[in-house]
Homo-oligomer: A and B are copies of this chain.
């Protein structure tokens, strides 16, 4: 997944630094400085900057340098930007935004999936629901997390909307973050697991209403769980 080459290394260093606010808005990066700082050639520096520019993290102007753009300009849907922000000081804000996005997208995705899921997807979904139930009881959070991510990714994919499908990585990141940071209970709440079963059943039964309601309960629940750890939910 990581980008290769020297420009990739630059990117992996500058990107998080900017996304976390370590390099603040308005700061100016000069090519020559970066060359000497990282001991690489202009070629490499320029390519890294082009990528950051495509993400709208920076903008370069002649005679001025490459300036870090304000947050509002950032391409907040870029997978790398999301990851970098999750790794840094912006983590709470990013989790909150993603939580809101989940609340919006996942219920609709579940409803659409109820009309479109193939028999195979349906089987897979049911199997994952069973696995969730089992691993929730056994308390193996690692494995539980894996199945949880797979479950949500499958629903998003089964929705038939390519843009929804592309959110699965971001959703995965949120779920991972919850298990890592937040004090997830040793045994996931039984009612949440039941809701996952409900979603799977409703989709397989081609019942959009029920699928949407159950999924909405899951994601709003997750968002509320998250709120306290984010400080001012305001």
Please report A residues at the B interface, Cβ cutoff 8 Å. Answer: 7, 43, 46-47, 50-51, 53-55, 71-72, 75-80, 93, 96-98, 100-101, 103-105, 107-109, 112, 159, 161-166
CB distance from A42 to the nearest CB of B (A): 9
Q: Is the interface of A mostly helix, strand, loop or mixed?
A: helix
CA distance A107 to B100 in the complex (A): 12
Task: Kindly identify which residue among B46, B96, B103, B108 contacts A103, using a CB–CB cutoff of 8 Å.
Answer: B108
Number of copies: 2
Q: In the complex, which residues of chain B have a beta carbon less than 8 angstroms from the beta carbon of A55?
A: 54
Assess the B7–A77 pair: CB atoms within 8 A: no
Known contacts A55-B54, A78-B75, A79-B75: A161-B97 contact under CB 8 Å: yes
CA distance A97 to B98 in the complex (A): 19
Assess the A7–B50 pair: CB atoms within 8 A: yes
CA distance A105 to B103 in the complex (A): 9
Assess the B50–A162 pair: CB atoms within 8 A: no
Assess the A100–B161 pair: CB atoms within 8 A: yes
Q: In the complex, which residues of chain B have a beta carbon less than 8 angstroms from the beta carbon of A75?
A: 78-79, 166
Q: In the complex, which residues of chain B have a beta carbon less than 8 angstroms from the beta carbon of A166?
A: 75-77
Q: List 16 A-B contacts (CB under 8 A).
A: A43-B46, A46-B47, A50-B51, A54-B80, A72-B162, A75-B78, A76-B162, A77-B77, A77-B166, A97-B161, A97-B162, A100-B161, A100-B163, A101-B164, A104-B104, A105-B105
Q: For A104, give the chain B residue with the smallest CB separation.
A: B108
CA distance A75 to B77 in the complex (A): 9
Q: For A97, give the chain B residue with the smallest CB separation.
A: B163
